[in-house]
Structure 1
C-alpha cells in the first residue's frame, strides 16, 4: 500500500529495553524491521500511520512491557515538507536495498537456468527445483512490496525482472516437456501379456 503524506503521517515508537538478554532485544528489532519500521536512532522507530500499524505497534509495546522495558507510542509528522520527504526517503532507501538484493537473486536464478539449459539438463526434477525457486522469488518480492510504503524507485525494475524470470522458466519447462516426449518415444513398449 502506497501512503500519501498528510499531517500526523507517522506513528512513532520510542522504547527502552533491558540490555540482557540480548536475544530478546534482537528479536524485538527484527520484528520491527519485519514490519517495515525505519529507525531514526536507537530505540526510536516509525511507521506510516494506519490502523494496521497502530495495532502492530501496540502488540510490540505489550512485548516491551513483558521484557521489563518502557515505551511510548505517538503520532508524528514532519515539521515541513522537506522533513516529510527526508523520512519517506529513508523508507525508500531501505526498500531499495531489499530490491537490490532481490535483483541479485534474480540474476543468480537466471544464471542457474542458463547453466541447466547449456547442459541440456531437461528433467522434471530440475524443473521442479526451478519452479520452487521461482515461487520463493515471487513470495519475496510480494513481501518487499507490502513494506514499500512510498513507492521506492527500484520496485518497477524488480517486478520487470521477476516477469522475465517467469517467462524464462516457461521456456525451460517447454524444453523439459519436449525432452520428456522424446525420451518416451525412444522407449520400446513392453510386450503385451495378451500376446505372448
Structure 2
C-alpha cells in the first residue's frame, strides 16, 4: 500500500489559517500521525487534494512538504486502514439509522452519504449497502 504524507508548519497567528488547514484535513478524512504530519491513501484524487492544500499552506506563509511512502509493517498498516474506516463506517451507520425514521430528509441524507463516500478510501461493504438503501428509499 502506498501513502501520502503531508508535513507542514504554519504560523501560529492568525489562528484562522491553522483552523482552515485543520478543517480541510478533517474534511478529506486525513489521519494525524504526528502533530503536523497527516496521512491519506495515495490516489490521484488525494494527491491532488494534498497538493492544493500544500499550496494554500504556502500562501498562508507556512511550509509544506508532500511525501509518498510505503508502509513496511503490515500490522501497523492494518491499524492505519482501520483508523480510516472507523469514522466512515460510523457515518454510514448513522445514515442507515436515519433511513428507518419516518421523517427522514433524503436530500440531507444523500449529501451526508456523498461526504462519507468521499472519505471511504477502501470501498467498504457498508458503503455499498447504504447506497442501495438510499436508492431504495428514494424510489418509494
In the TM superposition, residue 135 of structure 1 has moved relative to its aligned partner by: 2.2
Query: Could you tell me which residue of structure 1 aligns to residue 102 of structure 2?
Result: 111
The residue that corresponds to 1:149 in the other structure is 121
2:130 is the alignment partner of 1:139: no
Secondary structure at the residue paired with 1:154? helix
In the TM superposition, what is the alpha-carbon distance from 1:64 to its structure 2 partner? 0.9
CA distance in 2, matches of 1:34, 1:50: 16
What is the CA–CA distance in structure 2 between the aligned matches of 1:97 and 1:27, rounded to whole Å? 24
Counterpart residue number, 2:137: 165
**Residue 45 of structure 1 corresponds to which residue in structure 2?**
38
Aligned with residue 16 of structure 1, among 9, 19, 28: 9
For 2:89, what is the secondary structure of its paired residue?
A: helix
- Alignment of 1:84 with 2:56, yes or no, is no
CA distance in 2, matches of 1:24, 1:83: 32
Poorly superposed stretches of 4+, deviation over 6 Å: none
**C-alpha displacement of 1:112:** 1.8
> What secondary structure is seen at the aligned counterpart in 2 of 1:26?
helix
CA RMSD of aligned residues (A): 2.2
Larger-gyration structure (1/2): 1
| 5+ long unaligned stretches in structure 2 | none
- Tell me whether 1:31 sits opposite 2:24 in the alignment: yes
Counting strand residues as a fraction of each chain, which structure ranks higher?
A: 2
User: Which piece of structure 1 moves more, 154-163 or 42-51?
Assistant: 154-163
* Structure 1: tracts of 5 or more residues without a match: 114-132, 171-196
TM-score w.r.t. length of structure 1? 0.62
CA–CA separation in structure 2 for the residues paired with 1:50 and 1:160? 25
